[in-house]
Amino acid sequence: MSSFKARPNLSDIQFRQEPDAQLTLSGDTFIASPTGLSINNGMGVYVPIIVSGGTENDVLTLVGTQMILRPSSASGTSAFNSNRVTTRVGIPSINVGGATINEFIEGYFFPSVVPSSSLSVFSGGNDRQFGDAGVGNLSWSVTRNTMPLTSISISSNALGTYNCVVPIIDGNSQSGSASYTISTCQTPATSAVTTTIATYMVSASTSTGETTQTNATIVWRNKKFYFNNSTILTSGTVGAVMTASGGALSTTKTLNISQVLNNEYFYYAYPKTFGIPAFTVNGLPNNAWGNLSSGTLFTVTYVNTNGYSTEFYVARSDNKITGTYNIIVA
């Protein structure tokens, strides 16, 4: 006949564990209810331990009157607020953002560096005289820096649209060339236009949405010319001398030079749309130079080396001169 064993209900009525006594449980012990286990918080209040509803890597955190599962960054009385501007003396203010302490630390101390890019007009020149319709190649590069690149696009048509998509290789830095086209920028609509510009672009983005964009331009302008000559040039002879002098691209008639002459006339030619010149010679106003009524200012239709023609004013000194002259035109 077997011996009788009592199996009391483990409650405060039928079971008590004496203070400082140890209770050892073996095997599987299950808490049937999420609120079925409580501990004393040291102030006479029993705090329930709730372990449901958590995710991996959560920790037990005292929130109010409960021990519940929370992300480790939320331990304490409140969640860490990383979406605010942090300021310190000598350190630029920054709003790091993020939802966890890990994200804040990484963003503040190890911020991602956005990609960088470069673009240039490799052939054909980017500073031109009107009428120059030459084409060539653009040279471009995109540097990855922190995050992988996910897209690279190039605008090589001067129309403001990205007409070339570059295949991405492993998300790393890339470089290359692309042929460019121009529309009608080389020929202004009217002679009143002093500058036209064609804009080309390269842009790239990363896996986190960071972007970079760089532009390159080709600019067209007229030239202005100054030179010495021992004869009085006319509208029929001055064009060749202008071209031979070289000239300089410009969008204004202003001039400030020191010129050496040897029994010669001084000439200054520029687009007529810039207006009537006002000469100052060796510090004194000089109305005899570049004067319509006296014949020292006249108009010529100038055809440049690219075949583009426009009206120019040609101004000259009233006499042959010798010596060094400081000449200002406004």
> Residue 164: which CATH number?
2.60.40
| Residue whose C-alpha is closest to residue 109's, from 99, 94, 123, 121 | 94
Q: Which domain holds residue 303?
A: 222-329
Whether the predicted model's global pTM rises above the 0.85 cut = no
Take residue 272 and report the two structure tokens written for it. Answer: 């007529």
Q: Which residues of 147-180 are buried (b: 16+ CB within 10 A; e: fewer)?
A: bebeebbbbbbbeeebebebeeeeeebbeeebeb
**Are 129 and 147 found together in one domain?**
yes
Assigned domain for 90 exists:
no
In the chain, the number of structural domains is: 3
Take residue 266 and report the two structure tokens written for it. Answer: 């001084």
**Are 324 and 226 found together in one domain?**
yes
Assigned domain for 101 exists:
no
Residue by residue, pLDDT tens for the chain (330 residues) are 556 656 666 676 666 778 788 878 788 877 777 667 888 877 778 888 887 777 777 888 888 788 888 877 555 444 567 777 878 788 788 888 877 788 888 888 888 899 999 999 999 999 999 999 999 999 999 999 999 999 999 999 999 999 999 999 999 999 999 999 998 889 988 889 999 999 999 999 999 999 999 999 999 999 999 999 999 999 999 999 999 999 999 999 999 999 999 999 999 999 999 999 999 999 999 999 999 999 999 999 999 999 999 999 999 999 999 999 999 999
